[in-house]
Amino acid sequence: MTEQPKQIGRFPIIGTLGVGGMGVVYLGKDPDIGRKVAIKVLHTTGDKEALERFKNEARTMGEISHPNIVILLEYGIDDNKPFLVMEYLDGLSLEKWINQPHTLEEHKKVLLNLCSAISFAHRKEILHRDLKPGNVQVLPTGDAKLLDFGIATGENTGLTATGFFIGTPKYLAPEILQDTTHTKSSDSYSLGLLAYTMLSGNNPFATDTFEATMTRLLTKIPVSLNKINPNIPIELSNVVDKYLDKNSEQRPNSPKDLQMALELIVKPIVLKKTIVPNADSKDLRSQERTVLIGESPKSNTKWLALFALFIVMVAAGLFYKNYLDNQTAMELSKQKIAKEAARKKAEVLRLKKEAATKAEKEKQAVQELARIEKLKKAAQEQKEKLAEISAKQEPQKRPVQKPKKKPIQVVKKPKKEVNPVVEDEYKPPVIVYQRPKKKVNNKPVFQLPQLTHNEKKVTLKTRSDTQISRGTTKSITIELPIGITIDNFKIMRGLSGFNQVEIRKIKNLQDNLVKITLYAQSNASMGDFSLIGFYQNKKTNPLLMEVTL
């Protein structure tokens, strides 16, 4: 994990907004005017291609100025690392915005903003080439801004990808798998797929593996939006279908058609309808159509080449994987055996240490009980001696004789009494207290053994989505039982720790909720992992989570 710097250039750093494959985005403050800014810093300058893309993003953003495109404020180099200073945008990423219900009017506003931004970039002969929900920010006003022009370039020119393609696999146009040439039509396909994902709540081509995603992208035609949700006008649904045409020549090459279809939706009763995201797309996929090679004679050769290239790619990947497996199988086996032997040895040492500690504690307990009994016996003997001494020193009490009352005699001249004598005047005896020869110790304080926790296993519940993409940071909310405080959280895969997903921050909220911020490394292996809490040395139930592409 990259340590957060205190300052970049002339900008003090307040916090971290996100971590991506190329760099980190920090939240900073302009020392001159006090406004917040977003500062994007490249991870390393060793990758020449990444450095060139970073500079290309600065050049591209410097050429365009549009209300729906993020504004570049400054470019600089600090500690040999280039950085971009952009305006700070409040609100939600479209990736999170999609998961919440919104009216058709709100969807229309966001899509029109994106159409305007992409049309402006195309007029400047600039292709974005990576349109996806993660590169769109929805402001509190409902407006949207387009971000991340790191791989943007002019049509038919620009940077070459390291590998097979540039962009996000789930939002690629089909022709990009045939060659690396991006066109305006490719951007239009990504825009149409973005609109489909917003209005349906699902990307129709997303799967758990790269190969399956590419196969669906090449062969499946998704169900029309109007069939998924009748609240979506049929005219808008038909236009989105045109943008998802797999033949780039028959697809619109600009956002104009989608913009016109959106502007024609003006009835308040239609605009006020709520679009609820569909969380489960399995039922929808049963209604999809599969593209056959013979359906489009003009593109037979193109699709045959496309499938052949895809098969070669899969075969090459499998061959390379088998080669690596053969090269490392023996080394991994040796490491596994050595690791298992070390684990068993450590377990034996731990058990021996626990047994010795237990025996020592039992011995100390026996000695403590014997000492307590001895102290009790000594205290009883001392008490008896003190009682015996006190009994010997106590004097014999004798009754005091009270003088008899004499009758009152009336005399003329009373005689003066001079120092009358009281017979048998009582004088209390003097008691001399003798201290015992030996001092008595104070009573010892006894420590009871710590009680064990016999309650049932603590159950955790999650209130948020449990999927996290590679190279992203995500916050999840966990509900705890009332009165329970979790001592620690760990991330596991199977019986072992899973260090490719890190816990960045743990924050206690109201109503017995805990907010945990996770980060999945860009090279994290996809699949399930578990989040487990520890309460008084006991494990909670595991929360099943997933790393996605």
pLDDT score of 337: 85
Query: 443-457, pLDDT tens digit by residue?
Result: 443 333 343 444 567
Mean pLDDT, rounded, for 18-27: 82
Quote the tokens at residue 360: 């020592």
Query: 339-375, pLDDT tens digit by residue?
Result: 888 988 899 999 999 999 999 999 999 999 999 999 9
**Cβ proximity of 159 and 52 under 8 Å:** yes
Query: 416-430, pLDDT tens digit by residue?
Result: 554 544 444 444 444
**Cβ proximity of 474 and 517 under 8 Å:** yes
Please tell me which residue in 90, 130, 179, 280 is annotated as part of the active site. 130
Quote the tokens at residue 515: 């907010």
Q: Which of 59-73, 162-176, 275-289 has the highest mean pLDDT?
A: 59-73
Say whether 179 is catalytic. Answer: no
3-state secondary structure of 109: helix
Residue type, position 342, single letter: A
Q: Give ∠ CA 471-164-94 in degrees, rounded to 5.
A: 40
Strand ranges (E), 463-512: 467-469, 473-479, 488-493, 496-497, 501-508
Domain 461-548 has CATH 3.40.50.300: no
Residue labelled with tokens 């020549």: 249
* Confidence class for position 398, pLDDT limits 50, 70, 90: low
* Confidence class for position 323, pLDDT limits 50, 70, 90: low
203 φ/ψ angles, rounded to the nearest 5 degrees = -85, 120
- Distance CA(486)–CA(532), nearest Å, equals 10
Strand ranges (E), 253-340: 274-275, 289-290
pLDDT at 376 over 80: yes
Q: Is 246 exposed, middle or buried (0-12, 13-18, 19+ CB in 10 A)?
A: buried
CATH pick for 7-87 out of 3.30.1330.60, 3.30.200.20, 3.30.1240.10, 3.30.565.10: 3.30.200.20
pLDDT at 268 over 60: yes
pLDDT score of 167: 57
* Confidence class for position 290, pLDDT limits 50, 70, 90: low
pLDDT at 279 over 60: no
Query: 439-489, pLDDT tens digit by residue?
Result: 445 544 333 334 344 456 788 889 888 899 999 999 999 998 887 888 889
Mean pLDDT, rounded, for 139-150: 88
> What is the β-pairing status of strands 527-535 and 496-497?
unpaired
pLDDT score of 162: 38
* Confidence class for position 437, pLDDT limits 50, 70, 90: very low
- Distance CA(231)–CA(499), nearest Å, equals 45
pLDDT score of 414: 57
Q: Give ∠ CA 258-264-265 in degrees, rounded to 5.
A: 100
Angle subtended by helix axes 184-200 and 234-243, to nearest 10: 140
3-state secondary structure of 67: coil
Domain covering 92-291 in this structure, CATH number: 1.10.510.10
Query: 76-122, pLDDT tens digit by residue?
Result: 888 888 888 999 999 999 999 999 999 999 999 999 999 999 999 89
Query: 499-515, pLDDT tens digit by residue?
Result: 999 999 999 888 889 99
